[in-house]
A and B are shown apart, each in its own frame.
Chain A
Amino acid sequence: MTQRIALLAVLGLALMASLTAGKVWIGPADWFADTAGGWIMADLRLPRALLGASIGAVLGLSGAVLQGYLRNPLADPTVVGVSSSAALGGVVAILLGLSGVTMFAFAMAGAGFSVALLVALAGRSGGPLGFILAGMVLATVSGALTALLISLAPNPFATSEIIAWLMGALTDRTMDDAARALPFMAAGGALLLLTGRALDALTLGEDAARSLGINPDRLQWLIALGTGLAVGASVAVTGVVGFVGLIVPHFVRQFVGERPSATLIPSALGGAILTLVADSLVRLIPGPGEVRLGIAMSAIGAPFFFLLLARIRGRAA
């Protein structure tokens, strides 16, 4: 409980940082005023902060759920193909010249298609092994199709637009974007939060989990659907942001222990914090444009993860 309160406090600070970070300083007095500062706050920074927190939360949560389900600390939403399938849908939309709600719908359709294929390929009672194998097939096929579409793009501008979108960013997102994505992320997150006790039981293996009353088919559906809705919506609105789902659960285990259900909410809070901080930092880097969030996350995440691994290995030795 203490850890959750601490994480909530840090999340509050990260939200404040996200609302204040940018090329223009807006004092608190102007936040709700009918001025240019107030408009920037209401139309740009608030939706950006809301989306950053939500996207980070669902990526952290889905990473914790997938690592618990697959009993593998290397799992994250990219491993099971949902991110790449949603990205493929988004790329198709860009090539068709679509944007806004139709592009969102295409990306969600990609995520939905991946969920259906994931469950079909993993099979009834296929278990975590079938799930991860099916996910890797999906991720590989989606990645290959995305690369094919990029190579078939009609002009360099389209290629550039696709690549920039795939890198992930929260730049210029609006309240309309937030209104479209948040219900899906909330629904997916709620489904993922239902998995806690089943993930705890699965720690003992599939047979022991079933003997404790866990229905493996239901669990697989919950995870596929929850990840599809939450991660699909996050990719649809920002592109692919990596590393959050991988590293945040590792970090929170240092404080809350390794019981999977204990890592879910802290991973959601930690993911929100990490994404907000990274998105604030990209706005403070001087230059003509912003560094893409996906790039910043990898630049922050990779060394951080390396240090964490070194520390864990040092403790185990």
Chain B
Amino acid sequence: MIRLDQLCVDLGKRRVVDGLSLSFQHRRVTAIIGANGAGKTSLLRALAGLVVPAAGNIMLGGTPLAMLPLTERARHIGYLPQNGQPAWAMTVRELVELGRLPHRSRFAALSPADIAAVDQAMADADIAQLATRTVDTLSGGERARAKFARVLAGETDWIFADEPLASLDPPHQRDVLHLLRAAADAGKGVIVVLHQLSAAARVADDVLVLRNGKCLAFGPREEVLTPATLHAAFGMEMDVISHEGRCLIVPR
């Protein structure tokens, strides 16, 4: 479990996350939604230990996140940032192997356990056939799955993903949502920032709605994704429609 206690995060002189107290659970996908500037990415970066909170605490299990050494933290939390286009054209397998860095000593070669984890991650993300391709030759969907496999290879308890559907067409969005769901079903805690509200309704167990850095609503998706909450979060009318067992959110 990850527990936030009066968490505040500042960006420059502006408070972008303001007094959040809530907890996230394993085996669940939690979607963070909200308008631009609501504090979604700042919250996710704080949860990943990438920014120091201005106030409050983040507890990972029973340990304050700030007390964990960097490598230990990396063994618990896999983080998939926005726009993580690799700077160099390494092969897909080399990219996925980066997920094992927290498990390896400085000059050690990949151990059998590392190789098994990389193989498994590539199989789960369905990219085994791309192993020797360089990342600059991949399509957007292939690259998204390769980046996700890198996180899976870390065998972390938690996966944080920041807008993993950005720039993907509907079939590739579906593939990434399947990967998020499968990770949670395998026992991980998944926290994902999403702008696609119907995707959030489809994949999430819980939804956190942020407005101006504060928690507007948090709980099971059926309770949170209501026209009234969405109107309060985004300032526009939206219809929440049930269709063949699925929830669709349509702006008016």
Contact = CB atoms under 8 A, between A and B. Distances in A.
Bound pair: A and B? yes
Interface of A: 68, 71, 194, 197, 200-205, 207-208, 210-215, 257-260
Contacts of B73: 213
A68 B88 CA distance: 8
Contacts of A200: 90, 94, 98, 101
Contact of A259 (B79, B80, B90): B90
Contacts of A202: 87
A213 B88 contact: no
17 contacts: A71-B87, A200-B94, A200-B101, A203-B86, A203-B98, A204-B84, A204-B87, A204-B95, A205-B84, A208-B84, A210-B49, A210-B70, A211-B77, A213-B74, A213-B75, A258-B134, A259-B94
B79 A208 contact: yes
A215 B89 contact: no
A259 B94 CA distance: 8
A259 B49 CA distance: 26
A212 B101 contact: yes
B78 interface: yes
What does DSSP make chain A's interface, helix, strand, loop or mixed? loop
A149 B219 CA distance: 70
Interface string B107-150: 00000000000000000000000000010000000000000001
B100 to A, nearest CB: 9
Given A197-B106, A213-B70, A213-B73, A207 B94 contact: no
B81 A207 contact: yes
Contacts of B45: 207
Contacts of A68: 88
A213 B98 contact: no
Contact of B88 (A71, A207, A210): A71
B186 interface: no
A212 B48 contact: no
Contacts of A205: 81, 83-84, 87
Contact of A211 (B74, B87, B94): B74
Most buried by A among B45, B86, B104: B86
B98 A211 contact: no
A201 B90 contact: no
A212 B74 contact: yes
A214 B88 contact: no
A166 to B, nearest CB: 33
Interface residues of B, number: 33
Nearest to B79: A211
Interface of B: 45, 48-50, 70-71, 73-75, 77-81, 83-84, 86-91, 94-95, 98-99, 101-102, 104, 106, 134, 150, 154
Most buried by B among A194, A202, A212: A212
Contact of A203 (B48, B80, B90, B154): B90
Contacts of B75: 213
A211 B91 contact: no
Contacts of A197: 101, 104, 106
Contacts of A211: 48-50, 74, 77-79, 81
Contacts of B87: 71, 202-205
A87 to B, nearest CB: 30
A258 B88 contact: yes
B79 A207 contact: yes
B97 to A, nearest CB: 9
Contacts of B74: 211-213
A14 B236 CA distance: 72
Given A211-B50, A211-B77, A213-B74, A194 B106 contact: yes
Contact of A204 (B77, B89, B91, B98): B98
B102 A212 contact: yes
A71 B86 CA distance: 10
Contact of A258 (B48, B70, B90): B90
A18 to B, nearest CB: 31
A197 B105 CA distance: 10
Contact of A257 (B81, B91, B102, B104): B91
A203 to B, nearest CB: 5
A288 B98 CA distance: 55
A201 B98 contact: yes
B88 A259 contact: yes
Given A207-B50, A214-B70, 4 more contacts: A202-B87, A204-B98, A213-B101, A259-B90
